C-alpha cells in the first residue's frame, strides 16, 4: 500500500477507494480472458497494487503528476502515460504492442466518466471494461439497477448506445463510506464485454450516436413532435406505421429493439 499518499484533488474528481473487498472484486473481473490491462486514473495505486500481480502487461494513464513517481516504483514493467485521458490516443500504442484483448479498468473521475467511457469503448483492442460511476450515471448505463419496473420507463441515449456494442452487467454497488473522502452520492461498478456482432456496426457509430441525440433530445415529449424537427413528418409517420410503433409514444418508454428499428428505418 502507498503511505502518505497525496490528498485527493476535488477539481479532478478524485475519491480514493479504501474497501479491500471491493478492490479485490473489481480486480477479479474478466479474470484470465484479457492479454493486457489499461488503467485510467490509478492515483495512489488503489487498484494498481492488485493489477500488477496479474502478470499481464500493464499500462497506466495518469494526469496528476503527483502520482507518477509513486506508480513508477511498483514495477519496472509498467508503462505510464502522464497525460489527460480525454486528449490521449492509446490505439496506436496498443497496436504497436500487438495487444488485441485489452481490459480497461478504472475508478473513473465522476466529472468526466461518461466521455472517457465513450472515447475508450471505441478503441478496437479494448474488449472488456470495468468502470466505477456515480450511481446516477450507472443507472443510465445499466437500466435494471433501480429495479425491473422502473427499467421500462428509463430508456436513454447512453444505454441505447452502449447496449448495441457491449453486454452490460452490474458488478456491485459501492456506498460513499468506501471512499476517502466519501463522495456525496452512491456509486456502482459496471462491467462491459464487447459484442462480436453488434446490430449496428462500428462503422456507423457516429451516425447512430447522432441519431440517439435527436431521438432523446426531449425524451418526455411525443416521438412525433421530437422527430419532425429532424426528419420529414410524413416519412416519420409512414415508418412508425410500418414498425407498428405509436408516434405518440415517448422516447423514455421505448425498448432497446424499438430504438434499433427506428434508427434502421430513418438512417
CA angle 219, 223, 225 (to 5 degrees): 105
Half-sphere CA count of 132, side-chain side, radius 13 A: 31
Neighbours of 104 (CB within 10 A): 26
- The single residue listed with the C-alpha cell 452502449 is 162
- Under 8 Å between Cβ of 48 and 67: no
pLDDT in tens, 96-114: 999 999 999 999 888 899 9
- DSSP labels for 209-259? HHHHHHHTTTTTSBHHHHHTTTS-HHHHHHHHHHHT--TT-BGGG--HHHH
Taking only the tens place, the pLDDT of each residue in 10-44 is 555 557 899 999 999 999 999 999 999 999 999 99
pLDDT, average across residues 147-167: 85
Which domains are delineated in the chain?
Answer: 10-194 (3.40.50.150), 205-266 (1.10.8.100)
Cell of 150: 422502473
Helix (H, G, I), strand (E, B) or coil at 71: helix
Query: What is the Cα Rg of the chain in Å?
Result: 20
Residue keyed to cell 448506445: 161
Say what the pTM is.
0.92
Q: What is the pLDDT of residue 11?
A: 54
pLDDT tens per residue across span 63-78: 999 999 999 999 988 9
Amino acid at each position: 500500500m502507498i503511505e502518505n499518499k497525496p490528498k485527493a484533488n476535488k477539481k479532478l474528481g478524485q475519491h480514493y477507494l479504501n474497501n479491500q473487498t471491493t478492490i479485490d472484486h473489481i480486480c477479479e473481473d474478466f479474470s484470465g480472458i484479457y492479454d493486457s490491462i489499461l488503467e485510467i486514473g490509478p492515483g495512489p495505486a488503489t487498484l494498481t497494487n492488485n493489477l500488477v500481480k496479474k502478470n499481464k502487461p500493464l499500462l497506466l494513464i495518469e494526469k496528476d503528476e503527483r502520482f507518477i513517481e509513486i506508480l513508477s516504483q511498483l514495477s519496472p514493467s509498467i508503462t505510464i502515460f502522464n497525460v489527460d485521458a480525454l486528449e490521449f490516443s492509446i490505439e496506436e500504442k496498443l497496436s504497436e504492442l500487438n495487444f488485441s484483448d485489452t481490459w480497461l479498468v478504472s475508478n473513473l473521475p465522476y466529472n468526466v466518466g461518461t466521455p472517457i467511457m465513450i472515447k475508450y469503448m471505441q478503441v478496437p483492442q479494448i474488449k472488456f471494461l470495468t468502470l466505477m460511476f456515480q450511481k446516477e450515471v450507472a443507472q443510465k448505463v445499466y437500466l435494471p439497477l433501480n429495479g425491473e419496473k422502473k427499467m421500462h420507463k428509463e430508456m436513454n441515449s447512453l444505454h441505447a448506445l452502449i447496449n448495441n456494442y457491449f453486454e452490460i452487467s452490474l458488478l456491485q454497488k459501492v456506498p460513499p463510506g468506501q471512499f476517502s473522502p466519501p463522495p456525496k452520492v452512491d456509486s456502482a461498478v459496471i462491467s462491459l464485454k464487447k459484442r462480436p456482432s453488434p446490430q449496428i456496426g462500428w462503422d456507423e457509430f457516429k451516425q447512430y450516436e447522432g441519431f440517439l441525440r435527436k431521438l432523446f433530445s426531449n425524451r418526455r415529449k411525443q416521438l412525433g413532435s421530437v422527430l419532425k424537427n429532424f426528419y420529414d413528418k410524413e416519412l416519420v409517420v409512414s415508418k412508425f406505421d410500418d414498425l407498428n410503433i405509436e408516434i405518440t409514444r415517448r422516447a423514455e418508454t421505448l425498448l432497446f429493439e424499438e430504438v434499433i428499428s427506428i434508427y434502421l428505418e430513418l438512417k
